Amino acid sequence: MIYGLRMPNSPLFSTYRGGENRVTSSMLAVFQRLELSLLERLLGAVAEDSALQLVAFVNQPSGAGPSTPDARISAHFDYWFETKTNLNALTAKQLEAHYENLTAGAEHERLFVVTPDAVRPAVMDSLDDYRVIWFNFRAMSDAIDDVLDENNTFVGEQARFLLRELQKLFAEDGLLDVFDTVVVAARFAWGEYDTLGAYVCQPGRYFRPGLTHMGFYTHGAIQPKVAAILDQRSAPITFDNNTVEALRAGSDIDQRIAETIEASLKGGTRPPGQPYRVFVLSRTPDEGTVELAAPIANTPASGGTFAWTMSQRYTRLAALTKAGVGTTLELKAAGG
């Protein structure tokens, strides 16, 4: 669904077209009621573009010929929005069709793409144009937090109320749960990862889509290495010598899986001939591993000794790496 935002020849936001989409129509309804300076700051924050400008106020502008008026207020922009509320829903065909709404070389035009995905959808790479901008609902919510900081007294009560209600709507529809990291219970898996850069589990085990990283919880803490998920084979892989031989003729990822199977067979850690699910993980920062300042210690709110996870638990990489997060309670407060 695409929404048009045009100035100055039409209302601030056009009404939505197509099927009902309460999230997007509510978002635009809130934007419509914001002061332009606040909307400018909000969109600039999520677009990471401090130069984004909706309205220009100029003293002593140069006019036609000898004309030099005292002041000028001008606005000329054309913003389009494509929103998705499901993961991995954006298609290259749809994106390219929307891109046709932008005029070649027009610096005041933008196509904003908003999705709940944890990372930038790969289909965005099909368009090499700085005017096509992706962000997720979490980034929008974080930007709202920034502009509503208690020190920003210029934001009126009505704007605060509307933006907080919009955040609640995002949360109700599950659009802020951009959990891009899974932390697995790792009594034995931590050592295997540290040696082989892999994680092995039973076939058919479910993991949420959209994961980019894997952490390990053992010895009462989330360990300081958070690995990037380089490959995951949802189809079961049989751990035997025939599989190793077949994988040895394949890609670098296949070689890594072969090494993992060989080590498992030699070490006797798993019965041979059984199927398993394998994740190939980064081993170094060059491959994508994120190294935390220290392990994140488990501090249950009850004061008891319950493990932070008994199997697997989802969190956000941004929360894990946030400054000052050293315990699981602080991780929760950071949005993880």
User: In terms of pTM, does the model score above 0.85?
Assistant: no
Q: What percent of the chain has pLDDT over 70?
A: 91
pLDDT of 152: 63
pLDDT of residue 199: 96
Average pLDDT over residues 247-269: 93
**Looking at residue 75, what is its pLDDT?**
81
Is the predicted pLDDT of residue 173 greater than 90, yes or no?
no
pLDDT band at 101 (very low <50, low <70, confident <90, very high): very high
Q: Domain boundaries in the chain?
A: 2-172, 181-333
Q: In this structure, how many other beta carbons lie within 10 angstroms of the beta carbon of residue 79?
A: 21
- Examine the pLDDT at 190 and tell me if it is beyond 90: yes
Q: What is the mean pLDDT of the chain?
A: 86
Task: Tell which residue, 200, 227, 201, 199, has the closest CA to residue 213.
Answer: 227
CA 45/CA 220 separation, integer angstroms = 37
Q: Sorting pLDDT into bands at 50, 70 and 90, what band is 171?
A: confident
Burial of 117 (0-12, 13-18, 19+ CB in 10 A): buried
Q: Residues 284-310: what's their mean pLDDT?
A: 84
pLDDT at 14: 37
pLDDT bin (cut points 50, 70, 90) of residue 18 is: very low
Q: What angle is formed at CA 316 by the lines to CA 312 and CA 321, rounded to 5 degrees?
A: 115
Residue 12 confidence (pLDDT) above 60:
no
Residue 142 clears pLDDT 70, i.e. is over it:
yes
pLDDT at 96 > cutoff 70: yes
Of 306, 281, 308, residue with least CA distance to 221: 308
* pLDDT above 90 (res 52): no
What is the pLDDT confidence band of residue 304, given thresholds at 50, 70 and 90? low
**Phi and psi, residue 144, nearest 5°:** -65, -45
The rounded distance, in Å, linking the Cα atoms of 332 and 288 is: 24
Q: What whole-number distance in Å separates Cα of residue 223 and Cα of residue 129? A: 39
With contact defined as beta carbons under 8 Å apart, do 226 and 184 qualify?
A: no
Q: Which residue has the higher pLDDT, 43 or 118?
A: 43
**Pairing outcome for strands 109-115 and 132-136:** parallel
Q: Is the pLDDT of residue 16 over 60?
A: no
- Separation in Å, CA 117 to CA 82, 91, 142, 144: 14, 13, 15, 18
- Among all chains, which residue has been given the structure tokens 């609640």? 168
Distance CA 64, CA 211 (A): 57
pLDDT tens-digit readout, 263-283:
999 988 889 999 999 999 999
Residue 305 has pLDDT above 80, yes or no: no
| Residue 153: per-residue pLDDT | 66
Sign of torsion over alpha carbons 168, 169, 171, 176: negative
